Amino acid sequence: MAKSVLTPQSEDFPRWYQDVVAKAELAENGPVRGTMVIRPYGYAIWERLQRELDDRIKAAGAKNAYFPLFIPESYLHKEAEHVEGFSPEVAVVTHAGGEDLAEPVIIRPTSETVINVYFSKWLQSYRELPLLLNQWCNVVRWELRPRLFLRTTEFLWQEGHTCHASLDDARAYALRILADVYEATMVDVMAMPVLTGLKPDSEKFAGAANSWTCEGMMGDGKALQMGTSHLLGQNFARAFETTFLTETGETEYAWQTSWGVSTRLIGALIMGHGDDGGLRVPPVLAPNQVVVLVVRAEDGAGDAAAKIAAELAGSGLRVELDDRVDTSFGRRAVEWELKGVPVRVEVGPRDLKDGQAVVVRRDRAEKEPVALAGLAAHVGALLDDIQAGLLAAATRRRDEHTVDAATLDEARDGSADGFARVPWDAVREHEGDLGDGGLSIRCLQRADGSVPLSVDEPDLVAYLARAY
């Protein structure tokens, strides 16, 4: 591995994170506090995540739509618990067009309210159920302590909103999204193991009956909530008169869900896989799976590298050719290392004479000469191995930093650099105040690791951690 230009993780993990975001050219702070400019490489990663998530969302039956950024303030006040939960984060427009507005306008922090207004117009009969919608958009939540990707005043996300004929159907769909869309993307694409479980009442979404979560462990042992799926019950339907006629002709309130993940996933990627050299992007997610570097443009190396890049691309890989020989090879190697491209193929005159190129795998910083004749097959197999290896390493780190505890005191000690697993009954009475400002209950699971439907199920296990 080339010499790092980053603060070491062991020295200052938050500073290391900021260094990676900047030097890997992922994002910069925007002109208004808490906003961010996502740079092309960061946005390319987001586009890959969008594509993977969108395919799974559509496979679950939801269709994409779009709803307004501006929401009448009165909408937010229709669901009391919802407005109470979001009021500290809401941005309000009171003046526009050169005059004070008759009614203040909310910049959407989430869209349950405005979407329910239209659900109420569109939904008539049980025959139209389930009604499954998703939108890709930006939202605004005023952050007091912003951090790029993790907590920003404006961020990008998808938010799904659905109506169902019964409680069982709504709950089953919320759990399907949790497992088949979110967990599957995080594990199979991001190579990040996650705990899936039920949020305790103190941590659930404002206005929800139940919230389920995917919790990842970052490189410093802290937890990050990576995605949530909510059973809204009939709370919003009652507030907005979202009703339908049943098969027997009776009027019933719809049962609803909402669910979302955001650009926070890029923060998870950085902290979940990054090392002192920068990002390590799993091959399934990587915008560029392979970069072909010309070492020196001598003896036909440039033409040979272009041919190699074309052959690799022809085998179905996402490939970038770096023939910027006016920039030093070492500097370019560090740049691609920072950006976490899974495989580098270095092409120089000396190796070409021997009919080979040097292949460098980013996850282990290992390099080896590989014959040109079998290069595409070798790189393809290498990418599969890197994807599996990153998931295995992240899983091993999580398991090694998860301890069992019997009491809240033991859990406090055990969660110093990871997760503490403790009986729910041992901490339930303290869920609102664990006696440690940085400690929280991340989720509840059954003893066998499956996802519970209620906080009142017997023998549940709570996972405690310090979190972002």
CB atoms within 10 A of CB 81: 13
Q: Give the model's confidence band at 148: pLDDT under 50 very low, under 70 low, under 90 confident, else very high.
A: very high
Question: Where along the chain do the CATH 3.30.110 domains lie?
Answer: 402-466
2 versus 419: the higher-pLDDT residue is 419
Q: What is the CATH number of domain 290-398?
A: 3.40.50.800
Question: Where along the chain do the CATH 3.30.930.10 domains lie?
Answer: 13-273
**CATH architecture label of 402-466:** 2-Layer Sandwich (3.30)
CA angle (159 as vertex; 153, 160 as ends), nearest 5: 165
Q: Is the pLDDT at 85 greater than 80, yes or no? A: no
The CA distance from 341 to 347, in Å, is 16
Q: DSSP assignment of 182-209, as one string?
A: IIHIIIIIS----EEEEPPGGGSPTT-S
Mind spelling out the 3-state secondary structure of 61-102? CCEECCCCCEEEHHHHCCCHHHHHHHHHHCEEEEEECCEEEE
pLDDT by residue (tens digit) across 170-215?
999 999 999 999 999 999 999 999 999 999 999 999 889 999 999 9
Contact status, residue 182 vs residue 192, Cβ threshold 8 Å: no
Q: Give the model's confidence band at 368: pLDDT under 50 very low, under 70 low, under 90 confident, else very high.
A: very high
Q: Is the pLDDT at 36 greater than 80, yes or no? A: yes
- Please give the radius of gyration of the chain, using alpha carbons only, rounded to the nearest integer: 25
| pLDDT at site 5 | 85
pTM for the predicted model, two decimal places: 0.95
| pLDDT at site 436 | 72
Q: What is the CATH number of domain 13-273?
A: 3.30.930.10
Q: DSSP assignment of 205-245, as one string?
A: PTT-SEEEEEEEE-TTS-EEEEEEEEEEETHHHHHHT-EEE
The CA distance from 375 to 367, in Å, is 14
Q: Is the pLDDT at 260 greater than 50, yes or no? A: yes
Q: Give the model's confidence band at 80: pLDDT under 50 very low, under 70 low, under 90 confident, else very high.
A: low
| pLDDT at site 207 | 87
pLDDT by residue (tens digit) across 430-455?
987 887 778 999 999 999 999 999 99
| pLDDT at site 83 | 63
* CA nearest neighbour of 91 among 112, 74, 105, 77: 105
Question: Where along the chain do the CATH 3.40.50.800 domains lie?
Answer: 290-398
